[in-house]
Amino acid sequence: MRTVTIADVAKHAGVAVSTVSYVLSGKRAISATTSQRVMRSVRALGYHPNAGARALASKRSNVIALVLPLRAGMHLPVAMQFATSVVTTARQFDHDVLLMTADEGPDGLRRVAASALVDGLVLMDVEINDLRVPLLRELEEPSVLIGFPADASGLTCVDLDFARAGALCAEHLASLGHREIALLGAPHVVYQRGTGYAERTMEGFVEAGQALGLSAIALPCEEGFDEVCATVKTLLEGHPGLSGLVVHNEAAVGHVLGALRVLGRRVPEEVSVVAICPGDVAERASPPLTSVLIPAADVGHQAVRLLMSKLEGAPVPDATLLEPRLTVRQSTTPRL
């Protein structure tokens, strides 16, 4: 069963090859009758344009790269959500997605770009000092970053506004009358690496807390149950008046609740807890957690939209920050 080519369609429809091409691409006006005839042939023969030939002739592969480094401390489910929303959105723009990891390093990016395998790139989990960033500036291919490197000039970046997310948590707790609050963040390693979002959340939290006249402290948090327990215990002992806790660490969220249970602090009666995490984690906890959810799907969607604009030569903003939204559930309550 030889595969069907555009020539087969043309013959079947009794038109020229170029006419079929124009019907399919819409780049020139074709009469309705011809167009219909061609489309009927396309369906009758089950024609699918050959991707390689198309790419060669048009200099567009209709594929974008999704570069997804996998590092300690990053949360896989969120990464997965990003990835799927990128794929789904790309498909809406008639593009496919090539999945790349960081194993190959910058050379991998150079390879796929130079070989014209992809038309553009979406990079996830961008670090403050990311090796891939300087390369992006050299590349012909447009790119969009999810996250912000130290120097974002000339780049297109998208992310949740984590500073605002941190601030939102502080404000929510303040509005409930809490006066001493704390944020438990990512593991140490994440900060050492300089992954911007973790730091920005802390800063936003602490600054907003102080601006509201609260005692607000932030500290990293490892992900083992025993470590979480110890951290929470020390925290509570050092700050007896502490009544509001923000957790920005998905692996630790469950453990924090377990720790509070073990330490005999009831949630929310004695300690109000806010999580910054995906919705399902928050809902699945006991009690269901008031949370700021990470809109992974939105971020992925925006990233692709921006990339598509760049591919069409349209101007796009350098920075896109998504507004966080706080959902109140049963883990926060006014301070007694």
Partner DNA sequence: CCGGTCTATCGAAGCGCTTCGACGGTGTAT
Partner DNA sequence: ATACACCGTCGAAGCGCTTCGATAGACCGG
Interaction site with DNA (CB under 7 A)? 3, 5-7, 14-19, 21-22, 24-25, 27-31, 33-35, 47, 49-50, 53-54, 56-58
In the bound state with its own copies, the residue whose beta carbon lies nearer, of 140 and 312, is: 140
Q: Do residues 25 and 9 lie in contact, with contact meaning Cβ atoms separated by under 8 Å?
A: no
Question: Which option in its own copies, DNA, none does residue 279 bind, with CB closer than 5 to 8 A by kind?
Answer: none
Min dist CB 294 to its own copies, Å, is 13
In the bound state with its own copies, the residue whose beta carbon lies nearer, of 84 and 320, is: 84
Min dist CB 117 to DNA, Å, is 12
Distance between the two ends of the chain, CA-based, in angstroms?
A: 76
Question: Which option in its own copies, DNA, none does residue 336 bind, with CB closer than 5 to 8 A by kind?
Answer: none
Question: Which option in its own copies, DNA, none does residue 236 bind, with CB closer than 5 to 8 A by kind?
Answer: none
Question: Which option in DNA, its own copies, none does residue 31 bind, with CB closer than 5 to 8 A by kind?
Answer: DNA
- Tokens in use for 294? 């990470």
Min dist CB 225 to DNA, Å, is 54
- The residues binding its own copies (CB under 8 A) are 1, 3, 46, 48-56, 61, 63, 66, 68, 70, 76-77, 79-81, 83-84, 87-88, 91, 96-101, 103-104, 108, 110-112, 114-117, 140, 223-226, 229, 251, 254-255, 257-258, 261-262, 283-286
Min dist CB 76 to DNA, Å, is 36
CA separation for the pair 269, 336 (Å, rounded): 8
Question: Which option in DNA, its own copies, none does residue 186 bind, with CB closer than 5 to 8 A by kind?
Answer: none
In the bound state with its own copies, the residue whose beta carbon lies nearer, of 106 and 108, is: 108
Question: Which option in its own copies, DNA, none does residue 22 bind, with CB closer than 5 to 8 A by kind?
Answer: DNA
Question: Which option in DNA, its own copies, none does residue 240 bind, with CB closer than 5 to 8 A by kind?
Answer: none
Q: Identify the bridge partners of residue 327 per DSSP, sorted by sequence position.
A: 291
Min dist CB 286 to its own copies, Å, is 4
Min dist CB 175 to its own copies, Å, is 27
In the bound state with its own copies, the residue whose beta carbon lies nearer, of 183 and 228, is: 228
Min dist CB 69 to its own copies, Å, is 10
| Burial (Cβ within 10 Å: 0-12, 13-18, ≥19) of residue 8 | middle
Q: What is the 3-state secondary structure (H, E, C) of the chain?
A: CCCCCHHHHHHHHCCCHHHHHHHHHCCCCCCHHHHHHHHHHHHHHCCCCCHHHHHHHHCCCCEEEEECCCCCCCCHHHHHHHHHHHHHHHHHCCCEEEEECCCCCHHHHHHHHHCCCCCEEEECCCCCCCCHHHHHHHCCCCEEEECCCCCCCCCCEEEECHHHHHHHHHHHHHHCCCCEEEEECCCHHHHHHCCHHHHHHHHHHHHHHHHCCCEEEEECCCCCHHHHHHHHHHHHHHCCCCCEEEECCHHHHHHHHHHHHHCCCCCCCCCEEEEECCHHHHHHCCCCCEEECCCHHHHHHHHHHHHHHHHCCCCCCCEEEECCCEECCCCCCCCC
Question: Which option in its own copies, DNA, none does residue 205 bind, with CB closer than 5 to 8 A by kind?
Answer: none
In the bound state with its own copies, the residue whose beta carbon lies nearer, of 40 and 48, is: 48
Min dist CB 231 to its own copies, Å, is 13
Q: Do residues 166 and 204 lie in contact, with contact meaning Cβ atoms separated by under 8 Å?
A: yes
In the bound state with DNA, the residue whose beta carbon lies nearer, of 17 and 263, is: 17
